[in-house]
Amino acid sequence: MDAIEVIRAKRDGGALSSAQIDWVIGAYTAGGVADEQMSALAMAILLNGMDRREIADWTQAMIRSGERMDWSMLDRPTADKHSTGGVGDKITLPLAPLVAACGAYVPQLSGRGLGHTGGTLDKLESIHGWRASLSNDEMLDVIRDAGAVVCAAGSGLAPADKKLYALRDVTGTVESIPLIASSIMSKKIAEGTGSLVLDVKVGSGAFMKTVEDAHELATTMVELGTDAGVNTVALLTAMDRPLGRAVGNALEVAESVEVLAGGGPADVVELTVRLAREMLAAAGVSGKDPEDALKDGSAMDAWRRMISAQGGDPDAVLPRAAETVQITAPSSGVLRRLDAYGVGLAAWRLGAGRARKEDPVSFGAGVTLHAQVGDIVREGQPLLTLHADETARFDRALEALEGAYEVGLSADSDSLPLVIKRITV
């Protein structure tokens, strides 16, 4: 085969054969297909799409480009969760130990933040001593000790995806739903989990802005997981406003610990418990209910074991930013709107996020929310607190928040429900 033949087939609206997909992914990973040729193919896929069989073949070809992890030696079922990312989305932190406390093992590979969306590894690295990079043997040791592990993916997992993702990022093809779905699912399937729950975010702070686009992505990913023999379910959840009251690495760790201690914001608790129940059901584990595990301290115990097993000190004082600026309510009434993207952009500009993968982050930077959408506020009361290590960052963060919040006489009827829809095959 040759690359031009494959490009023309998709350019002209045809379906790529299994053999063509296997060849082009293998050749591109090995350097036999040039970046400009794969760029042309990615654009053809963006414009003409792929059917279910093509996406499944594409995903499996990317999985075969590297190693596939195996947890069959464990004595309990495994379950994992993947979120498409949002603002204040710290759910993995309380969720992984919670599910472990209820009887399933959780081997979770997570990523770092980029742009206005936060990254799980950045949040956990704000804990003194905690390590994101573990060998497969170390992952196994942590799972056996704590019941859950959250760490970075190794270079051997779906290397074709890593190479293709970097190319898509600079060629205007990131938005292709077949390529998004196969990118996510190639890594999750290669991770070797027996069941998977997908949290697909919808709204201004999410990659998917509309329920229709999120539904298409979620359905495609559920089909990919099912076709690969992984019990997969998806929830569409709201990201038109921030999740919880903390946005920023150490701020979100502190809020996650509150949840594990039996407190925390109602929306974070609700989504954590809902996802935990979905993960346990998908894994076929029944017994302790997640709400009980939050109340009796067993989820907190699992958290402390997980953090300690990865070198972290669960009792260490979390980093705090050197400077703060407060925004107050402009009038009395109901907080009608608090735009997730505006808050996420402000946190990014304060230092909580990065523009490039190699950039550092400020662990203490971010935004604290003193009210959530639907809350009654009084004129002059604190609405948001901005945290940064450098005062020079505040002006640009304040610009991001212009028009991002609104106080009115009643709640906004257009706000999305926290859980919008559940999707299975």
172 and 281 share a domain? yes
How far is 298 from 310, CA to CA, in rounded Å? Answer: 19
- In the predicted model, is pLDDT for residue 412 greater than 90? no
Helix (H, G, I), strand (E, B) or coil at 326: strand
Parent domain of 90: 79-315
Segment 288-296 long-range contacts (CB within 8 Å, at least 24 positions apart): 288/101, 288/102, 288/103, 289/102, 290/98, 290/99, 290/102, 293/98, 293/101, 293/102, 294/98, 294/259, 294/260, 294/262, 294/269, 295/262
The percentage of the chain sitting over the pLDDT mark of 90, rounded to a whole number, equals 91
Helix (H, G, I), strand (E, B) or coil at 380: coil
Helix (H, G, I), strand (E, B) or coil at 84: coil
150 and 293 share a domain? yes
Beta bridge partners of 106: 148
From 315, 331, 351, give the residue that closes a domain: 315
Answer for the pair 196, 172: CB distance below 8 angstroms, yes or no: no
Per the structure, how many domains does the chain have?
3
Within a domain: 32: yes
From 315, 334, 368, give the residue that closes a domain: 315
pLDDT tens for residues 317-335? 999 999 999 999 999 999 9
pLDDT tens for residues 95-120? 999 999 999 999 999 988 877 888 99
84 and 170 share a domain? yes
285 and 327 share a domain? no
296 and 276 share a domain? yes
pTM score, whole prediction: 0.95
Within a domain: 68: no
225 and 90 share a domain? yes
The residues annotated with a catalytic role in the active site are 82, 161, 168, 183, 187
Within a domain: 93: yes
Q: Which residue has the tokens 């009395």?
A: 332
pLDDT tier, 374 (very low <50, low <70, confident <90, very high otherwise): very high
Within a domain: 414: no
From 282, 315, 348, give the residue that closes a domain: 315
The CATH number covering residue 382 comes to 3.90.1170.30
Average pLDDT of span 287-294: 95
